[in-house]
Chain A
């Protein structure tokens, strides 16, 4: 296990931000870290980075504690953009990379590669404040990965980007993972997490409420989604046995049911009633799980 958090707790005065969090993330793994606002994600990241000392428990990377001597191994993309508005992209990236122990020459070479990759080579000599928010985000991403970190922490990497740029960035993240980087990332966009991560953890009020691999989580959640489209009123199904939640849609109804047996019952009922244009039994989406577990709605 590359990154190991053991019973990590962080208290600010009386307030407990992170409560007894244990995680182990294997090397070359993409780990999703979810949670409502204020659930303790950023605090956890700051503890992993060594910006904050945990009140209890310990955090290790390949068995060693993380401190400033390991800073060349770690890349960090903070939630808020953090760049000098008045500095040129080139100076900026070089300065920040030098702080992570990189030589200037290597840094310039890498910068050229990344700017080309993101199709913005002309930005090297522009000031940050002249760039759009999305492009600033790209530069921010470059500063986080330019020194080829072993552990990359991405806090909301895709916020504020258009779909094309999200794809570019996702590709880049995927490539980094394939080349052996361990990535921890947080997002509110469940589809990104579903797409990228094998393992994830959902935090609520500082405590991990769901933790494990994506498939296991979905299986153990038990509930499934049933979508039925028909020309007649389906609202009577909401009272059927095994239905946890029901939502009317324009063309029919969407049900959350406790298991497959419930689906079979419902199938028999609607088959008697009349023709059904659509009858689909789906795996629960991460979004459903999140809403259920973290108790808040996003999107």
Chain B
């Protein structure tokens, strides 16, 4: 208990932890509020463009087009000469100068002048408006009615329907994909981050030789699990903090964020079961990898060796993540199904499948049971390695050491 609290509190108080949490919170809050932030900076930021209309008839329909597309650009008829207009743009009175004329075919033609053309938004929007205008005018020239025109541009009706009962609809699938994607990322980073933290902690205690004192006071097994739980608690605190901030800022901005990015990611209506599964698989995945990391950490005697030791573990997490990413587009591939029962991949793959497909309940439960069994096995095995490993010093960076460590704990 003391170790648990110590691990938790001493990590909680470190500057790096506070800094990471703060930065992440700020980024999350920033992302969620992105549109309001952009709006804030762009408020009253009307883009005034001077227009010299040689034809005399293009300006009004163009302005109508522009209003329909984007109400930020205001076109203002400019009375002076082209040179005067250029000077006015240079002085900053207008964003740019648009010269409108007719081609020989009586179709619109334009030239745009601005101080710099780095800002491509305005010219491209103007171009888009003119394009519409030109299509209409060309259509009128060849006597196409607006109905005929719209028929020409109408998209092909294309409807996808899943035949399996309670299979997810295309729209649902897209939403689920976004959500699963984000949650997968969180699980992936968290597992790597915290497993690393544990391996580091153990290696630090070992290299500073505090370990010998610790395990002469408390049994190494107790110490190992207290450490895993301590860091686990820490991870949950950090996650909870970030998610809370994220949730509230999203909630606050929900009205302004109808549609677009956030809808795509399916944040509008998060299915509670997906979150519950995410949490379950996160915790289980954490325990699996944390146990692995703890006993790998116990085998090295210098902190420098730790990376080398846990690389295979990291590879495993990355592999799981890769398969999960692949599985996002083909969640029903048999290879994904099979790998989702391999304990080291289960946290990410089974979660991905649960989120994407309508699995019968026994499948995730079987996954969880296998995962739990693997955790218990690994914990028993890991605890024995840990007990011997923490006493081993010297050059130790091979997996032969696992055998050696086990031997140390054996009663002959």
Which chain B residues (204-230) contact chain A, with CB distance < 8 Å? 204-205, 208-219, 222
Residues of A within 8 A of B407 (CB): 12-13
**A275 within 8 A of partner (CB):** no
**B391 within 8 A of partner (CB):** yes
Chain B residues with a Cβ under 8 A of chain A: 2-3, 6, 10, 204-205, 208-219, 222, 391, 407-409, 411-412
**A276 within 8 A of partner (CB):** no
| A82–B209 touching, CB < 8 Å | yes
Nearest 3 Cβ contacts at the A-B interface: A82-B209, A99-B217, A55-B412
| B217–A71 touching, CB < 8 Å | yes
| A76–B216 touching, CB < 8 Å | yes
The docked-state distance in angstroms from the alpha carbon of A240 to that of B411 is 54
| A82–B218 touching, CB < 8 Å | no
The docked-state distance in angstroms from the alpha carbon of A91 to that of B5 is 13
| B213–A78 touching, CB < 8 Å | yes
| A12–B408 touching, CB < 8 Å | yes
Residues of A within 8 A of B3 (CB): 99
**Chain A 1-28 near chain B by CB (<8 Å), digits 1 or 0:** 0000000000111000000000000000
Which residue in chain B gives the minimum CB-CB distance to A68? Answer: B219
Which one, A55, A83, A84, contacts B411 given CB within 8 A? Answer: A55
Given known contacts A12-B407, A95-B6, A98-B2, A83 and B217 CB-to-CB distance under 8 angstroms: no
Residues of A within 8 A of B217 (CB): 68, 71, 96, 99-100
The residue among B10, B217, B218, B407 with the most chain A CB atoms within 10 A of its own CB is B217
Interface of B is mostly: helix
Given known contacts A51-B216, A74-B216, A96-B213, A82 and B208 CB-to-CB distance under 8 angstroms: yes
| A99–B391 touching, CB < 8 Å | no
- Tell me the count of chain A residues lying within 8 A, CB to CB, of chain B: 30
Which residue in chain A gives the minimum CB-CB distance to B14? Answer: A86
**A81 within 8 A of partner (CB):** yes
Residues of B within 8 A of A80 (CB): 209, 212
> Apart from A51-B215, A87-B10, A99-B2, what 16 extra A-B contacts exist at CB < 8 Å?
A12-B407, A68-B217, A68-B222, A76-B212, A76-B216, A78-B209, A78-B213, A78-B216, A80-B209, A81-B209, A82-B210, A82-B213, A84-B210, A85-B208, A96-B214, A143-B213
Residues of A within 8 A of B412 (CB): 11, 55-56
For the complex formed, measure the closest distance between the CB of B72 and the CB atoms of chain A, giving whole angstroms. 54
**A46 within 8 A of partner (CB):** yes
For the complex formed, measure the closest distance between the CB of B293 and the CB atoms of chain A, giving whole angstroms. 20
| B212–A82 touching, CB < 8 Å | yes
| A78–B212 touching, CB < 8 Å | yes
For the complex formed, measure the closest distance between the CB of A34 and the CB atoms of chain B, giving whole angstroms. 21
| B391–A46 touching, CB < 8 Å | yes
**A190 within 8 A of partner (CB):** no
Residues of A within 8 A of B212 (CB): 51, 76, 78, 80, 82
**Number of A-B residue pairs at CB separation under 8 A:** 66
Which one, A49, A55, A81, A87, contacts B216 given CB within 8 A? Answer: A49
For the complex formed, measure the closest distance between the CB of A13 and the CB atoms of chain B, giving whole angstroms. 6
Residues of A within 8 A of B2 (CB): 95, 98-99
Residues of A within 8 A of B10 (CB): 87, 91
The docked-state distance in angstroms from the alpha carbon of A99 to that of B215 is 10
Residues of B within 8 A of A74 (CB): 216
**Chain A 147-180 near chain B by CB (<8 Å), digits 1 or 0:** 0000000000000000000000000000000000
Given known contacts A11-B412, A53-B409, A55-B412, A68 and B218 CB-to-CB distance under 8 angstroms: yes
| A52–B408 touching, CB < 8 Å | yes
For the complex formed, measure the closest distance between the CB of B206 and the CB atoms of chain A, giving whole angstroms. 9
The docked-state distance in angstroms from the alpha carbon of A98 to that of B9 is 15
Residues of B within 8 A of A84 (CB): 204-205, 208, 210
Residues of B within 8 A of A81 (CB): 208-209
Which residue in chain A gives the minimum CB-CB distance to B1? Answer: A98
For the complex formed, measure the closest distance between the CB of A80 and the CB atoms of chain B, giving whole angstroms. 5
Residues of B within 8 A of A51 (CB): 212, 215-216, 391
Residues of B within 8 A of A71 (CB): 216-218
The docked-state distance in angstroms from the alpha carbon of A96 to that of B212 is 11
Q: What are 9 inter-chain pairs, A to B, with CB distance below 8 A?
A: A51-B215, A55-B412, A68-B222, A78-B212, A82-B209, A84-B208, A95-B2, A96-B214, A99-B214
The docked-state distance in angstroms from the alpha carbon of A98 to that of B211 is 15
The docked-state distance in angstroms from the alpha carbon of A248 to that of B411 is 52
For the complex formed, measure the closest distance between the CB of A121 and the CB atoms of chain B, giving whole angstroms. 23
Which residue in chain B gives the minimum CB-CB distance to A49? Answer: B216
The docked-state distance in angstroms from the alpha carbon of A49 to that of B390 is 15
The docked-state distance in angstroms from the alpha carbon of A19 to that of B408 is 16
Residues of A within 8 A of B214 (CB): 96, 99
Which residue in chain A gives the minimum CB-CB distance to B215? Answer: A51
The docked-state distance in angstroms from the alpha carbon of A84 to that of B219 is 19
| A99–B218 touching, CB < 8 Å | yes
For the complex formed, measure the closest distance between the CB of A84 and the CB atoms of chain B, giving whole angstroms. 6
The docked-state distance in angstroms from the alpha carbon of A85 to that of B211 is 13
The docked-state distance in angstroms from the alpha carbon of A83 to that of B3 is 15
For the complex formed, measure the closest distance between the CB of B214 and the CB atoms of chain A, giving whole angstroms. 7
Which residue in chain A gives the minimum CB-CB distance to B407? Answer: A13
Which residue in chain B gives the minimum CB-CB distance to A67? Answer: B219
The residue among B213, B214, B391 with the most chain A CB atoms within 10 A of its own CB is B213
**Chain A 87-106 near chain B by CB (<8 Å), digits 1 or 0:** 10001000110111000000
| A52–B391 touching, CB < 8 Å | yes
For the complex formed, measure the closest distance between the CB of A276 and the CB atoms of chain B, giving whole angstroms. 53
Residues of B within 8 A of A96 (CB): 213-214, 217
Residues of B within 8 A of A99 (CB): 2-3, 214, 217-218
For the complex formed, measure the closest distance between the CB of A37 and the CB atoms of chain B, giving whole angstroms. 14
The docked-state distance in angstroms from the alpha carbon of A177 to that of B218 is 25
The docked-state distance in angstroms from the alpha carbon of A143 to that of B10 is 19
The docked-state distance in angstroms from the alpha carbon of A55 to that of B216 is 19
